[in-house]
Chains A and B, each alone.
Chain A
Amino acid sequence: MRESMKNEMTLEFDAISDNESFARVAVAAFVSHLNPTLEEIADIKTAVSEAVTNSIIHGYDNLYGYGRQGGGRAAHQKIHPGKVRIHCVLEGDSLHIEIRDRGKGIEDVEKAMEPLFTTRPELERSGMGFAFMEAFMDDLEVDSRPGEGTCVTMQKRLGAGSWIDGED
């Protein structure tokens, strides 16, 4: 039986796509001492990636970062200033993640959470962001006010056994 522990971290970074990879890897590294399974790590990385990407492209409208992969050219689009803040709390075997932005917010959260719904079809993302967060985490809450920003709260119990066990 693991002794009940509490561990907390906060991360704040610029809302540019270059940081999407950094954000999910940082959260994954934060939980690594609990010896999570590969599935749990993949779940957390995907969920964090979805939430952070939403903040960057929808919250702050930063579609491109600095220098896209392989392109080596300066972004032709202006980078809007803004920060994404990740707050993680590990309590026992429970991971609590809060991903907050001060971007433009979501008009209709319920609608935004519908699978395949997107306000930016031209970006050709899949509209599956919230669906993935819901599927990969145990609990998901979205709090948003237009003009003020969005806060996504997710929970996951680690070591609870993976739902994918035996599937492959």
Chain B
Amino acid sequence: MQEQKTGTEDWEGFQVVNNCLMVRLPEEVDHHKAGIFSERADWYIVKKKVDHVIFDFQDTRFMDSSGVGVIMGRYKKISCLGGRVYIVNADRQVRRILRLSGMDRLVEVVEAHPGDGKGGESPSAENMSSIMGKPVICRDVSLKTAQKAAQK
């Protein structure tokens, strides 16, 4: 069942920076594509003992509940080991799915474009460590603001 890893090269889309696993997800994260990503991410968590997992949705334009399963499964494993899951570069579609599934309360959804929403620096493997050093990660504030406004 488990794929055997040979050699030292990382799989395509997988990268370890400062002991954090960076996973660049494909254009469509559905059941067909999800399995192999879960399996490979688990290999890094269990065998390589990475501290945190960062899912990069830069290329992703579609995600369904199987994608939620990928994140949820990794969240369960890494949080047992004291680690966290971060999500970067999620577009509107992906954000809606995360919000609807409640995943945005379990993992840290990092704003791709802080500030004015344009031209902000996109989180990358290199600058993620500085983001993670901060105690509070910029969450999806717009929804909370909207909910507060609606209650008034």
Contacts and interface: CB of A to CB of B under 8 A. Distances in A.
Nearest to A65: B32
Interface stretch (A5-13, A66-74, A78-86): A66-74
Task: Determine which residue in B3, B101, B142 has the highest number of CB atoms from chain A within 10 A of its CB, and name it.
Answer: B101
Given A42-B93, A65-B32, A168 B142 contact: yes
B70 A70 contact: no
Nearest to B117: A168
A18 B32 CA distance: 6
Interface stretch (B49-57, B59-67, B120-128): B59-67
A149 B33 CA distance: 25
A164 to B, nearest CB: 7
A71 B32 contact: no
A132 B97 CA distance: 8
A30 interface: no
Contacts of A50: 64-65
A144 interface: no
A84 to B, nearest CB: 13
Contact of A49 (B26, B64, B96, B146): B64
Given A42-B96, A167-B146, A123 B69 contact: yes
Interface string A132-168: 1001000000000000000000000000000010111
Contact of A124 (B33, B36, B73): B73
Interface in B116-147: 142-143, 146
A21 interface: yes
Main secondary structure of the interface of B (DSSP, over half): helix
A66 to B, nearest CB: 10
Interface residues of A, number: 36
Given A125-B65, A126-B65, A126-B72, A46 B97 contact: yes
A126 B100 contact: no
Contacts of B33: 69
Interface string A68-107: 1111000010000000000000000000000000000000
A110 to B, nearest CB: 19
Among A38, A56, A124, the most chain B Cβ lie within 10 Å of the Cβ of: A124
Nearest to A63: B35
B92 interface: yes
A164 B96 contact: yes
B31 interface: yes
Nearest to A76: B1
Contacts of A112: none
A17 B32 contact: yes
A68 B96 contact: no
B70 A124 contact: yes
Contact of A46 (B31, B32, B64): B64
Given A46-B62, A69-B32, 5 more contacts: A49-B64, A71-B36, A125-B68, A126-B69, A128-B100
